[in-house]
Chains A and B, each alone.
Chain A
Amino acid sequence: MTDCTAAKQGPGGHAKEGHSVTEMRYRRLLALYPRDFRQEYEEEMLAVLMTDDRRGPAQVLDVARAAVTVRFRLVAGAVQWRRAAWAVQLFGAIVLLSVALRRFLMPLTWSTSPFRLDAVDGTRVAGWAVVVVAALLGWRLLGFAGAAAGLAGEIASPARYYYDTPASVLHVYWIITAAAVVLIAGLVALRAGPRPRGWLAVVREPEVRRWMLAWAAPVLVTIPLVRAGFGAFIEHNMRHPESLRLIAPYQWVALVIVPVAAFVAVAVLNRRLEATRFRLARAGTN
């Protein structure tokens, strides 16, 4: 950011005016930072920027790059939400593995015909089992591969019957959402989880529990979403098997957007709560 105004104008009032123009430009640049960060450091940063004689594009680039870093750190760097992500990956995969195992083994209890391995069921069981192991060992790539296989299995299973019973997707939509959540949580989870004795201790931390709620929100919201938003759709298909309705594009959009919005809403509330507590704690110590 070159101070052209100050350079062109003479000393006294004009120089002062140029000075305030530079300050205004820096303030505009500092607007790139999150509000909480600005409240804490804006005046200090401004003082340093105004004192530093290395003005120019490199200075602007440094401020902009740091603003991106700070914003990214707010989301990805917060330890609590990554610890919560680890817990969600592990416990979510255990739940999904239990459900997949139940469906995998159920035919054995009532079917008299010889056991035949269903590829989709097998993929789901193997996928979630791999995710459980990967979460315990802190192997991110393996966790991603397992979760991708598990999610593909969860989608493929109802998709096979979609054109005969479109509601089959809706009945297991919470499972598909949970599978997607476990996949994403595995990508941002802290690589090394706590030692076995610490597993439950993680869940007892209030901050982690709040972030686990954010992770669980997309799954929880699918239940009222399907009941309230698709009740008439399911009833129509049950009463009129001769004229089945498929899920409309806008309904697919709602199925994707509502869970994402639920996560964002709880995450924003969490962030605000954490920022307020952090400010109060700093005010108390400083």
Chain B
Amino acid sequence: MTDAPMREPTFLMLTALAEEPRHGYAVIEDVAAMTGGRVRLRAGTLYAALDRLRTEGLIEVDHEEVVQSRLRRYYRLTAAGERGLATETARLREQAAIAERRLRARHAEFGGAPA
């Protein structure tokens, strides 16, 4: 795991798994719900990311089940994943706070009119 900022799909996937263990399709649905349908992951992107996150030790398999003769594997966040998500959340919050401050100052200076 590097200190580089996370890409949005990675951040959203970890956020989806922060709530509870989820299987692949449930992650897709939760990410879509969180973003109001703006981000709808597809199977290729999802599993390439899941495999990378497992290799990096950020997620792990929680349990497996077979539904309608199809394998369903649930993934959960690891302690390292929790730390990674917390770090990224703090970074985003800090940046959003800076942006918010500057926008407020801009509004105060120009009275809401474009510069």
CA distance A40 to B51 in the complex (A): 9
Residue of A37, A43, A49, A62 touching B71 (CB-CB under 8 A): A43
CB–CB B24/A44 < 8 A: yes
Residues of B within 8 A of A50 (CB): 70
Residues of B within 8 A of A (CB): 23-25, 28, 40, 42-48, 50-52, 54, 60-61, 70-73
Q: Name B67's closest neighbour in chain A (CB-CB).
A: A47
Residues of A within 8 A of B (CB): 37, 40-41, 43-52, 54, 58-59, 62-67, 69-70, 73, 282, 285-286
CB–CB B44/A47 < 8 A: no
CA distance A54 to B70 in the complex (A): 19
CA distance A184 to B23 in the complex (A): 41
Q: Name B62's closest neighbour in chain A (CB-CB).
A: A286
Could you list some 30 contacts between A and B, CB below 8 A? A41-B47, A41-B50, A43-B70, A43-B71, A44-B72, A46-B70, A47-B25, A47-B71, A48-B24, A48-B43, A48-B47, A52-B25, A52-B28, A52-B42, A54-B40, A59-B43, A62-B42, A62-B43, A62-B44, A62-B45, A66-B44, A66-B45, A66-B48, A67-B44, A69-B48, A70-B48, A70-B51, A282-B54, A282-B61, A286-B61
Majority secondary structure of chain A interface residues (helix, strand, loop or mixed): helix
CB–CB A66/B71 < 8 A: no
CB–CB B51/A58 < 8 A: no
6 further A-B pairs in the complex, CB-CB below 8 A; given A41-B50, A66-B44:
A44-B47, A45-B43, A47-B24, A47-B25, A50-B70, A66-B45
Q: How far is the CB of A284 from chain B (nearest CB, A)?
A: 12
